[in-house]
């Protein structure tokens, strides 16, 4: 029986890399259909053709495409949400207007992340409710930013089982491997936090504790954060803490520069042009003319986290593999992180076995880091509640908890720009 993976936002130009990433996973035994859903039939067909091409002649992987959401969701086993509401044009706004307030612009955190959430959450919830009606047993895999706010909104308002994925913990492990000169497969990291708010607080090679050595090389692992600060905490924050600890530095890097979103808008046209030519190239065989522009997109997340997690769930769930797999995944907390509320969305190591996901125990962090995490969690929960209810006053209070917003004037100006009138 074919496993159906529906991809919301399937017309994104990076989507063919998901097909390629699944194709490249060895030992797969289960047939998978990637059902791409998008609004523009013309763009969707170009992307789908490229996805089929990059999937090669894989008998276990097929790609379909439709603008009919209900038809796509019928019989879905997994739903990957990667929608970008407002497109890259809206991301340009998220990455620029905060700079005018003296705050570095970014699409997942700070004022830009809030604006993204205001725009994104209502639309995602419409789709989530459709999933709840048509494929209530499907696992929703969330990859739409700001990821933890979106995931919290889904779990807050629907009964869908939902997880979130991010490549940041994978990148941290890669950086640790390079800094220590130890192969990645020999390392196990302890990780705890929230999306783009996580910390590595344990590094193991067998029973050998390598955290002290990693702290000594902190500048190579998270260069965005002052090494002396990392060493003072005794735990390694993810790169996004550069925005929280060094906002002036991050702002200085952005002023007068093109935003990443503007670069991606230009690149999108280049990629779509290449896809047009690929529509007639499938007969040449897998990889014969891989689109050169895709390398510039740098969509590593499909290869390092999304495809591996999907494959692990599918293979272990259908009896194709008796193995267990370990990933860092965003999950509803429950009791995993005891200092956060049960309904919080946390980013923690988890085991996939028999098609199930089980959060693994986490190690304690310093008390002041715990307080930062509690405050960020409260911001996320209040912001989501404000967006769902349309409560502007609650949104103002939430913004004053955001780790990048420090004054009433800043919060009020963010609301003026981001809140619907």
The three-point CA angle 246-195-163 to 5° equals 170
Q: Quickly list H helices, 136-187.
A: 147-157, 168-180
Query: What DSSP character marks residue 372?
Result: H
SS3 298: coil
Distance from C-alpha of 328 to C-alpha of 399, rounded to nearest angstrom: 28
Helix axes 260-278, 41-54, angle to 10 degrees: 70
Please state, for a pLDDT cut of 90, what percent of the chain lies above it: 88
Distance from C-alpha of 378 to C-alpha of 336, rounded to nearest angstrom: 17
Question: Is residue 51 within 8 Å of residue 19, measured between CB atoms?
Answer: yes
Question: Is residue 201 within 8 Å of residue 191, measured between CB atoms?
Answer: yes
Helix (H), strand (E) at residue 307: helix 307-317
pTM of the model: 0.95
Q: Could you count the other beta carbons within 10 Å of the beta carbon of residue 343?
A: 13
Say what the pLDDT of residue 283 is.
Answer: 47
User: Would you write out the chain's pLDDT as a tens digit for each of its 421 residues?
Assistant: 899 999 999 999 999 999 999 999 999 999 999 999 999 999 999 999 999 999 988 999 999 999 999 999 999 999 999 999 999 999 999 999 999 999 999 999 999 999 999 999 999 999 999 999 999 999 999 999 999 999 999 999 999 999 999 999 999 999 999 999 999 999 999 999 999 999 999 999 999 999 999 999 999 999 999 999 999 999 999 999 999 999 999 999 999 888 988 988 888 888 888 888 776 655 455 445 677 777 777 779 999 999 999 999 999 997 767 799 999 999 999 999 999 999 999 999 999 999 999 999 999 999 999 999 999 999 999 999 999 999 999 999 999 999 999 999 999 999 999 999 8
Give the CATH number of domain 3-165+261-284. Answer: 3.40.50.720
Distance from C-alpha of 405 to C-alpha of 311, rounded to nearest angstrom: 40
| Locus of tokens 């939902």 | 162
């Amino acid at each position: 029986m074919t496993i159906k993976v529906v991809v919301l936002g399937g017309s994104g130009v990076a989507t063919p890399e998901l097909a390629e990433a699944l194709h490249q996973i060895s030992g797969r035994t289960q047939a998978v259909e990637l059902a791409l859903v998008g609004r523009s039939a013309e763009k969707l067909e170009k992307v789908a053709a490229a996805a089929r091409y990059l999937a090669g002649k894989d008998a276990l992987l097929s790609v379909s495409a439709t603008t009919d959401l209900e038809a796509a969701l019928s019989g879905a086993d997994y739903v990957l949400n990667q929608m970008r509401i407002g497109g890259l044009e809206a991301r340009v706004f998220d990455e620029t207007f905060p700079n005018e307030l003296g705050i570095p612009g970014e699409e997942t955190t700070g004022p830009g992340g809030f604006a993204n959430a205001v725009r994104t959450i209502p639309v995602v919830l419409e789709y989530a409710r459709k999933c709840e009606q048509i494929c209530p047993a499907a696992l929703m895999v969330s990859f739409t930013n700001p990821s933890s706010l979106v995931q919290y909104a889904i779990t807050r308002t629907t009964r869908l089982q939902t997880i979130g994925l991010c490549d940041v913990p994978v990148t941290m492990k890669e950086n640790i491997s390079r800094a220590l000169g130890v192969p990645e497969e020999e390392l196990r990291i302890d990780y705890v936090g929230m999306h783009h708010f996580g910390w590595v607080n344990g590094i193991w090679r067998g029973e050998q504790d390598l955290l002290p050595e990693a702290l000594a090389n902190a500048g190579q692992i998270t260069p965005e954060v002052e090494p002396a600060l990392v060493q003072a905490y005794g735990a390694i924050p993810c790169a996004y803490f550069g925005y929280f600890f060094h906002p002036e530095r991050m702002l200085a890097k952005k002023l007068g520069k093109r935003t990443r979103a503007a670069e991606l808008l230009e690149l999108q046209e280049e990629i779509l042009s290449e896809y047009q030519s690929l529509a007639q190239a499938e007969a040449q065989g897998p990889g014969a003319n891989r689109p050169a522009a895709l390398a510039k997109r740098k969509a590593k997340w499909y290869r390092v986290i999304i495809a591996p997690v999907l494959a692990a769930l599918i293979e272990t769930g259908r009896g194709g593999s008796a193995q267990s797999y370990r990933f860092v995944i965003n999950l509803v907390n429950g009791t995993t992180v005891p200092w956060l509320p049960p309904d919080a969305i946390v980013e923690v190591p988890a085991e996939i076995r028999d098609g199930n996901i089980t959060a693994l125990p986490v190690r304690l962090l310093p008390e002041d880091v715990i307080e930062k995490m509690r405050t960020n969690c409260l911001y996320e929960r209040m912001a989501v509640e404000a967006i769902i209810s349309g409560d502007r006053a609650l949104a103002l209070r939430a913004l004053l908890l955001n780790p990048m917003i420090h004054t009433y004037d800043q919060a009020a100006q963010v609301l003026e720009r981001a809140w619907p009138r």
